[in-house]
C-alpha cells in the first residue's frame, strides 16, 4: 500500500472548523514552530531559592557603570531590587510619624456579638474563590482568615488566639495576637506595611523587640486606627522574602497594658495596590475592606486599580512610578539597603510632577517624561492626558522656562493615556481610543506630538512591546503592529483567544518578546481564571500564530536583560529562567512539562470513501534531550463525520484510536484504523524530553465500503 507524507501547514488555524482546515494544525500546548515544523518549547528554572511578596507585574534589568547586574521587581505589595539572587526592599516611605504619634493597645478581646461557638468554626482554602487572606464579619464579630494551603481556620477569632473557637461562647474574653494601633491620619489601608521604632514593652508578651519591626496591616478601621498581629522577632529579609511573611504569632497576655511609650515612630510604606481588577462603583466595587465597613468604592479611589509599576534608568540610578501614583528615585551610590525617595524631595526639585501613569527616560535626548501626570500649575491634580518632560539631563528641573527645555504637551483625543512605548527615535503614546507619535524637535518646542491613528484599542497598560523597530500590541478584539503606520495583524486564532479571555481581568494582559525564536507572547487570564494562565504567540519571523497555557505575569527577554535566558515571574511569587532545559523547575525534583500538538482532520479525495490506515513511519528528533530514552506518544484517530466523535476501541474492532510510544530509534508503528477522516497528534509528558517533528509518513489506502 502507498505511503502518504503528512505535510502540515505551519501555525494554528482556529478561524475555520477542524474539517475545513485540512492539512493544517488545529490545537496545541507548549509547542512552537521553527522553520515551519512544530517542537516543544523550552522549560524553566527558578532564578533563586527565595520569594518576593505579592504578584509581580513589572521587571526591569540593568547594569551599573561598574557592570553590576540589577533587576527591578515591582509587585502589588512591594518594590524590590534583585541583586545576586536576593530581594532588597526599596519600597518608598510615604509617611514617617513624629515620636509618640503611634500608640498600641493589646488586651483580651471580647466576643461581643451573638455568635455561638459552633458558628465560629470556619474552614476556607485559597482555592475556594477567596483571597489568600482577609476578614469576615458575622453579626458584630470580625474574624480574620488566612486561606493558605487549606489551613483550618477554627482558631481564628478576631486574629489568632491560640485556642479553638469551640472553647468560647459569646461574651468570653480571649487573649489575641491582635494589637490595635492608633496613628492619627496615617492613611493606612489593609495590607499596607509599616515599620515601628522606639517602642517599649507593653508589659507582657509584647516586648520591645517584638514591636520594633515591620508589620503588615490586616484590618483598616478608619484613618486613625488599624489592626496588626504580633509576630515573633525576625530579620527584615526573612519577613519579606524567602517564605513570605512570618506567620508565627505572639499572644498578648493580661500584663500587656501599656501603649508602647512616647517615642514610637511609624514609617509607612506607600499604600499597597490591588492584585485583581475591580470595575464599577457602589457596594462591593473594590477589594474587600479597602475602606470603612460598608462604604462604597470608586474606580478612582486610592488603591482601587491594579498595581502596575513603570521604571527606567537615569544613568545607573532608577526611576520608578506607581501607576496613578507617585514618582520615586533610587540612587545607586547609596546601595540596595536604602529605599527609593520621592522625586520631589530631591535637593533643587522644581515643579516636579507628583503623580503619573507612567514615567520614561528618552534615550536619544535624555529627558524624563511623565505621562498622565499633574500640571506644574495645579500640583497634585492628575490630568490623564497631560505629558510633561524635565529639562534635558535633569532629574529635578521641571519648570517651563526660556532657559531650559522643560515643558508639557496635551494629547488631543481619548479620555486617558494608557501607556507609552519608545521606538526608532519616536515615542508612541496610546490612549483608550487613539495612537499618537511623539518626537524630539529641539529648542524651543523640545517635543511635538501628532495623531497617527484613531479608533484603535489596547487591551491593557502592559499589552504593547517594541521589537526590531516595530511595536506590537493586543487590542480589545484584535492585534496590531506599528512600523511607520498602524496595521491590524491578521490572526488565525483570533476568535479562539478573545473568546477565552476573562474580560473583567483584561488589565492583567502582558506582552513579552522571545527574540531568539522571533516570537511575541501575550499572557492573559482565561475565562475560568482571575490570573494570567494562558498565552498566545505571534511568530513575526514566519507570520504564524499558536497558543498554550502557562502562568506568567510578566516577562523580559534575554536580549533586554543581562542574563543568558529570558526571565519571567510566576504566580507562585518566584522568578524563572525561561527556555531553560525541557522541564518544570518550579519544584525539586523537576517535573515533566506536558506538551502536545494535534492536526485538523484529513480525508481521501472528497471524503466520500473510507480510508484504511495500517502503518506510520515517524520522523522525529529528540535533540538536546537529557532523558536516557526519550519518547513521545503518536496518536492517529478517525471520524466518520466532521462533527462526530473520534471513534474509540469499543465502536468497532477496526475503527478506533491508535496510540503508541515513539522512541529515538522507532522505525514504524502498526495499527488497524478505518474512517472517513483521520487526525494526527503528538503528546509528551516525560522529564528531560525535547522533541521536534519532521515529515512522518502514513500507510493509507482507499476503502470503498460505506
Which residues of the chain fall short of a pLDDT of 50? 114-121, 124-132, 146-159, 281-303, 649-656
Beta-bridge partner residues of 539: 519, 544
Measured on CA atoms in the order 695, 696, 697, 702, is the torsion positive or negative? negative
Q: Give yes or no: residues 256 and 110 share one domain.
A: yes
Sequence-separated (6 or more) residues with CB below 8 Å from residue 449:
387, 409, 411, 429, 436, 437, 438, 439
Q: Give yes or no: residues 103 and 243 share one domain.
A: yes
Domain boundary among 235, 269, 303: 269
Number of neighbours of residue 374 by Cβ within 10 angstroms: 20
pLDDT value of residue 636: 87
Alpha-carbon distance of 251 to 177, in angstroms, equals: 4
Contact criterion met (CB below 8 Å) for 29 and 12:
no
pLDDT value of residue 143: 56
Which domain does 142 fall in, by range?
96-269
pLDDT value of residue 165: 54
Tell whether 78 is covered by a domain.
Answer: no
Query: Terminus-to-terminus CA distance in the chain, angstroms?
Result: 20
Contact criterion met (CB below 8 Å) for 546 and 538:
no
Q: Give yes or no: residues 143 and 265 share one domain.
A: yes
Q: Give yes or no: residues 9 and 100 share one domain.
A: no
pTM of the predicted structure, to 2 decimals: 0.89
Tell whether 101 is covered by a domain.
Answer: yes
Alpha-carbon distance of 329 to 341, in angstroms, equals: 5
Q: Give yes or no: residues 114 and 252 share one domain.
A: yes
Tell whether 260 is covered by a domain.
Answer: yes
* Phi then psi dihedrals of residue 222, to 5 deg: -160, -175
Cell of 267: 514609617
C-alpha closest to that of 42 among 441, 619, 558, 427: 558
- CATH code assigned at 686: 2.60.120
pLDDT value of residue 229: 85
Ordered DSSP codes for 558-618 = TTTSSSSS-EEEETTS-EEEES-TTEEETSSS-EEPPEEEEEPPEESTTS-SEEEEEEEE-
Q: Give yes or no: residues 121 and 252 share one domain.
A: yes
Tell whether 14 is covered by a domain.
Answer: yes
pLDDT tens digits, 202-238: 999 999 999 999 999 988 888 899 988 888 887 655 5
Tell whether 664 is covered by a domain.
Answer: yes
Beta-bridge partner residues of 549: 534
pLDDT value of residue 111: 53
Q: Give yes or no: residues 142 and 235 share one domain.
A: yes
Q: Give yes or no: residues 21 and 105 share one domain.
A: no
Domain boundary among 231, 254, 269: 269
pLDDT tens digits, 415-429: 999 999 999 889 999
pLDDT value of residue 135: 56
Alpha-carbon distance of 452 to 468, in angstroms, equals: 20
C-alpha closest to that of 19 among 624, 666, 641: 641
Q: Give yes or no: residues 18 and 150 share one domain.
A: no
Number of domains in the chain: 2
pLDDT tens digits, 522-581: 999 999 999 999 999 999 999 999 999 999 999 999 876 567 899 999 999 999 999 999
Tell whether 539 is covered by a domain.
Answer: no
Cell of 251: 499572644
pLDDT value of residue 301: 32
DSSP 151: -
Tell whether 18 is covered by a domain.
Answer: yes
Q: Give yes or no: residues 10 and 150 share one domain.
A: no
Cell of 44: 524553566
Tell whether 567 is covered by a domain.
Answer: no
pLDDT value of residue 656: 45
Amino acid at each position: 500500500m502507498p505511503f502518504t507524507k503528512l505535510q502540515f501547514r505551519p501555525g494554528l488555524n482556529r478561524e475555520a472548523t477542524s474539517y475545513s482546515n485540512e492539512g493544517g494544525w488545529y490545537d496545541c500546548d507548549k509547542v512552537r514552530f521553527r522553520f515551519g515544523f512544530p517542537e516543544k518549547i523550552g522549560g524553566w528554572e527558578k532564578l533563586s531559592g527565595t520569594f518576593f511578596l505579592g504578584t509581580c507585574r513589572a521587571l526591569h534589568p540593568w547594569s551599573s557603570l561598574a557592570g553590576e547586574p540589577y533587576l527591578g521587581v515591582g509587585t502589588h505589595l512591594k518594590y524590590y531590587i534583585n541583586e545576586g539572587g536576593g530581594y532588597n526592599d526599596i519600597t518608598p516611605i510615604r509617611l514617617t510619624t513624629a515620636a509618640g504619634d503611634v500608640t498600641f493597645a493589646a488586651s483580651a478581646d471580647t466576643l461581643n456579638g451573638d455568635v455561638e461557638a459552633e458558628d465560629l468554626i470556619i474552614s476556607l482554602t485559597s482555592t475556594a474563590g477567596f483571597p489568600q487572606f482577609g476578614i469576615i464579619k458575622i453579626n458584630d464579630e470580625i474574624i480574620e482568615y488566612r486561606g493558605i494551603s487549606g489551613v483550618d481556620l477554627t482558631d481564628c477569632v478576631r486574629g489568632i488566639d491560640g485556642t479553638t473557637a469551640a472553647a468560647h461562647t459569646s461574651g468570653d474574653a480571649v487573649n489575641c495576637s491582635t494589637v490595635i494601633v492608633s496613628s492619627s491620619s496615617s492613611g493606612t489601608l489593609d495590607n499596607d506595611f509599616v515599620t515601628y521604632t522606639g517602642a517599649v514593652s507593653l508589659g507582657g508578651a509584647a516586648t520591645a523587640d517584638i514591636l520594633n519591626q515591620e508589620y503588615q496591616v490586616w484590618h483598616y478601621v478608619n484613618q486613625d486606627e488599624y489592626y496588626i498581629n504580633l509576630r515573633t522577632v525576625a530579620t527584615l529579609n526573612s519577613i519579606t522574602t524567602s517564605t513570605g511573611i512570618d506567620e508565627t504569632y505572639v499572644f498578648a497576655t493580661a500584663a500587656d497594658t501599656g501603649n508602647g511609650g512616647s517615642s514610637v515612630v511609624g514609617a509607612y510604606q506607600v499604600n499597597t495596590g490591588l492584585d485583581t481588577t475591580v470595575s464599577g462603583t457602589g457596594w462591593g466595587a473594590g477589594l474587600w475592606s479597602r475602606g470603612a465597613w460598608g462604604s462604597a468604592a470608586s474606580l478612582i479611589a486610592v488603591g482601587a486599580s491594579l498595581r502596575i509599576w513603570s521604571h527606567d534608568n537615569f544613568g545607573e540610578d532608577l526611576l520608578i512610578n506607581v501607576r496613578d501614583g507617585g514618582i520615586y528615585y533610587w540612587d545607586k551610590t547609596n546601595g540596595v539597603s536604602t529605599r527609593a525617595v520621592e522625586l520631589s524631595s530631591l535637593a533643587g526639585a522644581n515643579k516636579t510632577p507628583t503623580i503619573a501613569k507612567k514615567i520614561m527616560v528618552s534615550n536619544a535626548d535624555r529627558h524624563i517624561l511623565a505621562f498622565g501626570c499633574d500640571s506644574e500649575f495645579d500640583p497634585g491634580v492628575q490630568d490623564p492626558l497631560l505629558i510633561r518632560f524635565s529639562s534635558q539631563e535633569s532629574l529635578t528641573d521641571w519648570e517651563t522656562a526660556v532657559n531650559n527645555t522643560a515643558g508639557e504637551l496635551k494629547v488631543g483625543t481619548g479620555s486617558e493615556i494608557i501607556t507609552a512605548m519608545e521606538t526608532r527615535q519616536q515615542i508612541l503614546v496610546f490612549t483608550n481610543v487613539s495612537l499618537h507619535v511623539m518626537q524630539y524637535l529641539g529648542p524651543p518646542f523640545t517635543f511635538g506630538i501628532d495623531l497617527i491613528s484613531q479608533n484603535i484599542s489596547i487591551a491593557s497598560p502592559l499589552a504593547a512591546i517594541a521589537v526590531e523597530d516595530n511595536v506590537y500590541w493586543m487590542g480589545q478584539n484584535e492585534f496590531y503592529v506599528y512600523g511607520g503606520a498602524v496595521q491590524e495583524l491578521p490572526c488565525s486564532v483570533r476568535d479562539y483567544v478573545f473568546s477565552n479571555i476573562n474580560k473583567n481581568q483584561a488589565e492583567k494582559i502582558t506582552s513579552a518578546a522571545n527574540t531568539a525564536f522571533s516570537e511575541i507572547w501575550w499572557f492573559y487570564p482565561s475565562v475560568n481564571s482571575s490570573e494570567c494562565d494562558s498565552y498566545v504567540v505571534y511568530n513575526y519571523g514566519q507570520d504564524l500564530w499558536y497558543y498554550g497555557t502557562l502562568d506568567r505575569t510578566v516577562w523580559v527577554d534575554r536580549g533586554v536583560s543581562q542574563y543568558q535566558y529570558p526571565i519571567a515571574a510566576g504566580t507562585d511569587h518566584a522568578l524563572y529562567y525561561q527556555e531553560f532545559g525541557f522541564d518544570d523547575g518550579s519544584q525539586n525534583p523537576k517535573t515533566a512539562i506536558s506538551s502536545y500538538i494535534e492536526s485538523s482532520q484529513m480525508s481521501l479525495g472528497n471524503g466520500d470513501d473510507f480510508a484504511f490506515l495500517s502503518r506510520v513511519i515517524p520522523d522525529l528528533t529528540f535533540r538536546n534531550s537529557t532523558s536516557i530514552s526519550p519518547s513521545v506518544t503518536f496518536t492517529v484517530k478517525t471520524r466518520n463525520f466532521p462533527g462526530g466523535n473520534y471513534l474509540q476501541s469499543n465502536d468497532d474492532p477496526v475503527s478506533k484510536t491508535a496510540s503508541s510510544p515513539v522512541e529515538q530509534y522507532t522505525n514504524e508503528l502498526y495499527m488497524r484504523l478505518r474512517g472517513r477522516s483521520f487526525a494526527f497528534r503528538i503528546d509528551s509528558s516525560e522529564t528531560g524530553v525535547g522533541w521536534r517533528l519532521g515529515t512522518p509518513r502514513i500507510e493509507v489506502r482507499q476503502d470503498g465500503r460505506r
